[in-house]
């Protein structure tokens, strides 16, 4: 579930934009379409995985590249895209991203092979990285009045959460009725509407000359690509194979060079000084572990329902609905309880809930009653619906309004890396065990551990920091 609500909150106070009197709903629709496509394309592909494997004769590693390749490019370019939006204007970069994503979606739909589909998905990631940071910047810029902005951000969050929650069901319906290509064709009308409305109704934002840390971003991309290769290809090639040793070396060299460069350069890839603030570090730790668990589980469950339980894509989509529909509902609950409890406490409690619920499934098999699985995963996802806005709010509080834009980009990048690692880790477990009873059970162990580790981090870094701030204020 994408969560960049904080990515551009500070922009509202920077300038008073000149806008034509346009109905708020049209502006909201224009800027929500990008995130809707990004959210759908993370979740909708999962339920189409089996059909893609069958029709394109794709192996499990190839299927993982189809899902994770998109996330890899998406996550590695997010910070660079945020700098481009400042330098060239958020509206320009948003429209570029939408256009690239549109063309890449068409390429996905007509891909004749798994390799071609992987390439098209990589290009989709470029488009998503371009429009994602710009979307929130333009949204906040378009609604400078605080009360209206808060309402629109709430509606925007609900739209994105609903898209992510309904993605597997929509994917199952489309795959069953029209084939796997239809999940990408779906992006075409959405993209056209988004581009036309943005061109017509969204005013350009302020351009801020920014020096881009291109060498650092290139090292970042190389390191993530080497990590992805190692995680995805390890089970197939063997962890000690020559290709794997090369990937380890590339990862070590790129990561080391990035560290050296960040220590010496003026324009940094990451705002490292912010990580000295415990709540900021905690929110990013929670974001990484949360996405690892959530999207790793959605990838695994879609395959488990179809391979272990024999569900069709349509039935698997319907079976996932009672598990994922809780995202937007829990977002609403968070808005009601956030004033009564601190974010650190909420994150700790609901990460514990999600972790313990996931660990109840460590004995899952093809004979496990569906209602037991739906109850456990649904309970974990209720927690997820609280965790997502909670960690964003904790990040904003920790970063302060002057750093909100860059802080939101960092959180989103960390979350997408968590998604990348989570999906790859589930693929490693499923590929290594080759047993659709034992594999998902081991995956639930990893998912539960990730949630519980996030709870520990939230308590030690966020909740404790909040208590110290209250004590100082008193």
Domain limit, last residue, from 250, 266, 282: 266
Structurally, the chain folds into a number of domains equal to 2
For residues 443 and 333, state if they share a domain. yes
> Is position 53 within any domain?
yes
For residues 276 and 225, state if they share a domain. no
Domain limit, last residue, from 231, 246, 266: 266
- According to the model, what pLDDT value does residue 9 have? 40
> Is position 341 within any domain?
yes
- According to the model, what pLDDT value does residue 40 have? 78
For residues 308 and 416, state if they share a domain. yes
Measured torsion, CA atoms of residues 220, 225, 226, 229, in degrees rounded to the nearest 10? 160
Give the domain range for residue 241.
Answer: 213-266
- According to the model, what pLDDT value does residue 431 have? 81
> Is position 2 within any domain?
no
Domain limit, last residue, from 266, 289, 306: 266
Here the CATH number for the domain that contains residue 71 is 1.20.1250.20
For residues 294 and 344, state if they share a domain. yes
For residues 250 and 107, state if they share a domain. no
> Is position 1 within any domain?
no
> Is position 3 within any domain?
no
Per run of 10 residues, the mean pLDDT along the chain (length 474 residues) is 42 43 76 80 80 88 88 84 80 92 95 94 92 76 69 70 77 87 91 90 74 83 88 83 92 92 80 85 93 91 88 86 84 81 92 96 90 94 88 79 68 85 88 82 95 96 81 54
- According to the model, what pLDDT value does residue 117 have? 95
For residues 258 and 354, state if they share a domain. no
For residues 281 and 149, state if they share a domain. yes
> Is position 251 within any domain?
yes
For residues 229 and 351, state if they share a domain. no
For residues 409 and 315, state if they share a domain. yes
For residues 300 and 358, state if they share a domain. yes
> Is position 299 within any domain?
yes
For residues 407 and 462, state if they share a domain. yes
For residues 372 and 402, state if they share a domain. yes
> Is position 4 within any domain?
no
């Amino acid at each position: 579930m994408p969560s960049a609500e904080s990515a551009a909150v500070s922009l509202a106070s920077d300038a008073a934009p000149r806008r034509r009197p346009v109905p708020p709903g049209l502006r909201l629709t224009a800027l929500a379409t990008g995130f809707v496509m990004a959210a759908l394309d993370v979740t909708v592909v999962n339920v189409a995985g089996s059909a893609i494997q069958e029709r394109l004769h794709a192996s499990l590693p190839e299927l993982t590249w189809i899902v994770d390749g998109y996330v890899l490019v998406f996550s590695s370019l997010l910070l660079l895209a945020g700098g481009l939006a400042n330098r060239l204007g958020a509206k320009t970069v948003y429209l570029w991203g939408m256009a690239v994503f549109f063309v890449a979606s068409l390429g996905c739909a007509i891909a004749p092979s798994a390799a071609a589909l992987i390439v098209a998905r990589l290009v989709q990631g470029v488009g998503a990285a371009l429009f994602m940071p710009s979307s929130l910047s333009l949204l906040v810029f378009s609604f400078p009045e605080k009360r209206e902005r808060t309402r629109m951000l709430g509606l925007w969050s609900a739209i994105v959460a609903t898209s992510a929650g309904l993605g597997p069901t929509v994917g199952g319906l489309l795959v069953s009725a029209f084939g796997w290509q239809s999940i990408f064709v779906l992006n075409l009308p959405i993209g056209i509407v988004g581009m036309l409305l943005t061109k017509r109704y969204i005013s350009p934002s302020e351009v801020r000359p920014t020096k881009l840390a291109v060498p650092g971003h290139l090292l970042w991309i190389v390191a993530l690509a080497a990590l992805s290769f190692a995680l995805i290809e390890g089970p197939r090639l063997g962890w000690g194979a020559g290709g794997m040793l090369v990937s380890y070396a590339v990862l070590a060299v790129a990561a080391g060079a990035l560290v050296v460069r960040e220590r010496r350069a003026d324009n940094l890839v990451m705002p490292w000084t912010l990580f000295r603030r415990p709540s900021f570090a905690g929110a990013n730790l929670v974001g990484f572990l949360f996405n690892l668990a959530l999207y790793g589980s959605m990838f695994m469950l879609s395959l488990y329902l179809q391979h272990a339980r024999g569900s069709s894509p349509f039935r698997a989509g319907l079976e996932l609905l009672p598990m994922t529909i809780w995202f937007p509902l829990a977002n609403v609950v968070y808005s009601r309880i956030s004033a009564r409890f601190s974010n650190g406490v909420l994150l700790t409690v609901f990460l514990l809930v999600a972790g313990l619920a996931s660990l109840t499934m460590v004995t899952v098999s093809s004979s496990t009653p569906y209602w037991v699985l739906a109850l456990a995963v649904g309970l974990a996802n209720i927690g997820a619906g609280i965790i997502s806005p909670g960690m964003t709010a904790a990040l904003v509080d920790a970063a302060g309004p002057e750093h909100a834009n860059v802080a939101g980009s960092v959180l989103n990048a960390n979350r997408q890396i968590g998604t990348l690692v989570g999906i790859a880790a589930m693929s490693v477990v499923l590929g290594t065990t080759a047993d659709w009873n034992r594999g998902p059970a081991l995956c639930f162990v990893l998912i539960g551990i990730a949630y519980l580790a996030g709870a520990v981090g939230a308590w030690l870094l966020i909740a404790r920091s909040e208590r110290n701030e209250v004590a100082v204020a008193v």
